[in-house]
A and B are shown apart, each in its own frame.
Chain A
Amino acid sequence: MPHEIIQKLYRGMPTVNSNRSTMATNDSAETSHQVLTFCLGSETYAVDILLVQEIRGWAPVTRLPQAPIYMLGMLNLRGSIVPVIDLRVRFGLEQAPFTPLTVIVVLAVHTASGRREFGLVVDSVSDVVDIDAAELKETPSLGGKASVELIKGLAAVADRMLILLNVDELIRRDLEQAQAPAMAGAA
């Protein structure tokens, strides 16, 4: 249940505050770090726990014109306007109906253009686990299910294969650089 996960996350929070420097780098320099895992179809994905701001239940967002289909729209996150990406659609999986388990994982990342917040819609969040940087393996071809560029690597944890998301690349591709397409219907 999302609620339990949030409890776990909050227990983990003090490390976020006492360990600010790792937030900026959020990279493989750490030998071992905690990741939040979540389900997307039959796969289990993971993001660095230090990037996670909040996990909230799915609620409708405001649609954006001329946005790619995986860009669901904008969410009000305590007064700031945050884009929300449907990760299923982003990875070419078929869109699933939103259920009570569907959650938005809100991440915050420091980029060259400042701190950026955004939400990822996933099927459900499952757990917080430790992974060892040494366990991280190169990404094999995933058979077209997901863009390989968005994957940092794979890690086997307790018989499960975790797919570690490359969040920086996701931001670079989907939030910052993409050209705003012309308005619909403009010939």
Chain B
Amino acid sequence: MITDPPVVLLPIRSSVRECAALKRQLLALVAYPGAVRIDVTDVELIDTAALQLLFAFCRERIAKDLSTIWQGDSPAFRAAATAVSLQVGDSAGPSSHSACQHDA
């Protein structure tokens, strides 16, 4: 077991402009054997491009049967995800293990 899972801290502003950097960060972790934590606490603005990137990341991890853990809560994050009908995690609590899902 890996004891100290890496954490991705999403910045205050996660928009298409920041996506290239975010993608590089996530790409390094997409095959990470242990759980990856994504912390949304700081997010004040997030757009569809960033949500799509996170969604794709989660989906790939699920396909590889790897776990992604969402931590923190951000109303902006929740609202943005709801607005485009994506569920990138329920962001309910720091250790919730919700997998990425989407209505199909």
A/B: CB atoms within 8 Å of each other: no
